[in-house]
Structure 1
Amino acid sequence: AAATELGPGAGVAIHDVVDTRHAPALAEEVRERFGTVTILVNNAGNHFKKSIEETEEDEFRNLLDTHVTGAYALTRAFVPGMAEAERGHVLFTASMASFMGLPKVFAYTTAKAAYLGMVRSLAVDLSPKGIRVNGIAPGFIETEISRKAFEGDPQRKEKVLGRTPMRIFGKPEDIGWAAVYLSSPAARFITGVVLPVDGGMLVGF
């Protein structure tokens, strides 16, 4: 439905990021249907709240496979087409957890922190091929799920806003516009950075 709303140039291809064997086939399918892909957004993710003692190994591996190994496989599959076109942008959706220690999300934090290294290393390796690599790190964003969560926990809501100098929650379009900017010609001289979109949370006290 969302693809239909975006118009005739949009389409859908189904892919399980954990099944990395099929990443090359996805890249080929998308190329045949839409032409060379010059923007890749690694946005797939999952999440759970558990201490390390409570986390089973298969849960930990699945989370890393979804965030890290899945992003590796897709980037590896799409980079050759970008290199051939001599232009491209790979964008990783990181998190405040990439920079901060959050309670009971050590697995998620581990995965998101890995994006910092991936962005920096890939930016160095791929720049000579005309490919930029960046990330965005969303803060607390107002969604239907977050609204319901904070309605039942006003103390947590105040704690979050207290850590956010702008004293507001972000909106989904704030993340979208950051992604558009970093993927546009306006950011042609920017690579290797992870941009916080967080109302100042990262620098707040």
Structure 2
Amino acid sequence: MTGSPFDLDGKIALITGGGSGIGFGIAQCFVNSGARVLLIGQTESKLAAAVEQLGDSARYFVADVTNEAACRSAVDCCVDMFGGLDILINNAGNHLKKSLLETSQADVQSVLDVHVLAAFNLTRLALPALAEREGSVLFIASMASYLSIPQVIGYTAAKSAVLGLVRGTAAEAGPMGVRANAIAPGWISSAMTDAALNNDPPRKAKILSRTPLGGMGEPSDIGWAATYLSSRAAKFVTGQVLAVDGGAVSGF
């Protein structure tokens, strides 16, 4: 087999939440590695701007991933537009910062709907197309999947459930030739994250103090890890969660 085992030449990826942040960082690395990408999101202007930056290898589809019919349409659109599907990236997410006592059932449900149910639905609907090309699914977990972080009880519950999705999907999709893994990002620099932490110096100091490599990660750090897990270099890797966190999950 010719070419680098780490490249994605000829691969087709569907990336939810691909218009900005980690999703866009993954899209950039995929395109640079030879893949074509379909970005999914709710804000057309953001998606259009992302596609313009990515070039001819990228397209977008406006959809709410919590809507099952929209998920089905997104998968169908990708297959119709590019001729198949090799990689599904379940990256779309929302966030909620409230104390446990202030968090309502509706609050928790809104986070579960995006991080867990949408990822489950997209994976289920994409699996037949992925199986045709022995593709892979990548979920985005979190430090909250492992650490006791205050004020994010709903998010922590959702990102912990993502670990179960990885294991369950790997067990059932493996016999179909489809791999399932996840990345657990550490604290990644973005306009939103930087603004939030700059307004909360004690929280920022705590994050940096427990990150052995120091500083914040970049979206491309997640993008290159996703490239590896989606490439044939990882053809015997499934059911795993890779922490890309500067050592935070194991830091003191």
Aligned position for 2:248: 201
Aligned pair 1:152/2:199, yes or no?
Answer: yes
The worse-fitting range, judged by mean Cα deviation, of 144-153 and 180-189 is 144-153
Distance 1:51 1:155, change over 3 A: closer
**Letter matched to residue 69 of structure 1:** L
Q: 1:50-129 to 2 correspondence within 5 Å? A: 50-85=98-133, 87-129=134-176
Q: 1:7-86 to 2 correspondence within 5 Å? A: 7-85=55-133
For the residue of structure 1 that corresponds to 2:60, the secondary structure is: coil
Deviation at 1:152, TM superposition (A): 2.9
Work out the CA distance in 1 between the residues paired with 2:209 and 2:175.
43
* Number of residue pairs matched by the alignment: 204
Aligned pair 1:162/2:216, yes or no?
Answer: no
Q: Could you report, residue by residue, the CA deviation over 1:116-172 in whole angstroms, capped at 9, with x for unpaired residues? A: 111011111111111010000011112222222333333222211111111221111
- Residue segments in structure 2 that go unaligned for 5+ positions in a row: 1-48
Q: RMSD of the TM alignment (CA)?
A: 1.3
Aligned position for 2:36: none
Deviation at 1:26, TM superposition (A): 2.0
Aligned pair 1:2/2:50, yes or no?
Answer: yes
**Letter matched to residue 135 of structure 2:** G
Deviation at 1:57, TM superposition (A): 2.0
The worse-fitting range, judged by mean Cα deviation, of 120-129 and 152-161 is 152-161
The worse-fitting range, judged by mean Cα deviation, of 141-150 and 130-139 is 141-150
Work out the CA distance in 2 between the residues paired with 1:30 and 1:150.
37
For the residue of structure 2 that corresponds to 1:170, the secondary structure is: coil
The worse-fitting range, judged by mean Cα deviation, of 2-11 and 43-52 is 2-11
The worse-fitting range, judged by mean Cα deviation, of 71-80 and 154-163 is 154-163
Deviation at 1:10, TM superposition (A): 1.4
4+ residue runs of structure 1 moved beyond 3 angstroms?
A: none
Aligned position for 1:143: 190
Give aligned-pair identity as a percent.
48
Work out the CA distance in 2 between the residues paired with 1:145 and 1:26.
27
Deviation at 1:37, TM superposition (A): 0.7
Distance 1:153 1:26, change over 3 A: closer
From 178, 184, 190, the counterpart of 2:231:
184
Work out the CA distance in 2 between the residues paired with 1:35 and 1:179.
22
Work out the CA distance in 2 between the residues paired with 1:157 and 1:48.
18
Work out the CA distance in 1 between the residues paired with 2:131 and 2:231.
17
- Residue segments in structure 1 that go unaligned for 5+ positions in a row: none
Normalised to the residue count of structure 1, the TM-score between the two structures is: 0.95
Deviation at 1:4, TM superposition (A): 2.5
